[in-house]
Amino acid sequence: MSDTETGHVDPTKERFALFKDLPRDEPVHMLNLVSLKAEATYPDGRKATGREAYAAYGRESGPVFRGLGGRIVWSGRPDLMLIGPEAERWDIAFIAEYPSGQAFIDMIRDPAYREAVKHRQAAVADSRLVRMKPGNPGAGFGEEG
């Protein structure tokens, strides 16, 4: 995706309402796939690469994330889209764990997080964020754990 096309960066009000309707009192894993812009696009015109802006987002939002009990349970570097649209390119992939759905909601409502998210918005060309219920890592393909 080119930097001039519009990607998925923030949840819509409708999708966030669906998130809030799911159980809030059980652990949540969030699959994150992120494609970065070559150059970040800040409204105030400041200069940074997409990677630099995303790193600033991580530095500034990290204390809020960890303070609510969040942690990264898996991360990796995407190498090749083996199955899926060839045009989709992901620079960053990770799974974030939250102690509850409510902790995720609390994070995105936190004033410090809301300030940090400007870096994510400047950095990201496209992304996917998938809420998942943690399962049994020993379960086989297609089996619930």
pLDDT tens readout for residues 69-106? 999 999 999 999 999 999 999 999 999 999 999 999 99
Inside any domain, residue 140: no
Residue 132 has pLDDT above 90, yes or no: yes
Q: How many domains does the chain have?
A: 1
Residue 35 belongs to some domain of the structure: yes
Quick check: is 101 in a domain? yes
5: in domain = no
Asked if the model's pLDDT at residue 144 lies above 70, the reply is: no
pLDDT at 43: 96
Is residue 8 over pLDDT 70?
Answer: yes
Give residue 140's pLDDT band: very low, low, confident or very high (50, 70, 90): confident
103 in a structural domain = yes
Residue 105, class by beta-carbon neighbours within 10 Å (0-12 exposed, 13-18 middle, 19+ buried)? middle
- Residue 48 within a domain: yes
pLDDT in tens, 14-61: 988 888 888 899 999 999 999 999 999 999 999 999 999 999 999 999
Q: Is residue 79 part of a domain?
A: yes
What is the predicted pLDDT for the residue at 6? 59
What is the identity of the amino acid at 75? S
Q: Which residue has the higher pLDDT, 39 or 144?
A: 39
| pLDDT of res. 96 | 98
**Residue-range definition of the domain harbouring residue 127:** 28-132
Per the CB < 8 A criterion, the answer to whether 74 and 94 are in contact is yes
96 within domain boundaries: yes
* C-alpha span between 83 and 141 (Å, rounded): 16
Q: What is the CATH number of the domain that holds 37?
A: 3.30.70.100
Residue 1: pLDDT above 70? Answer: no
* 86: three-class secondary structure by DSSP: coil
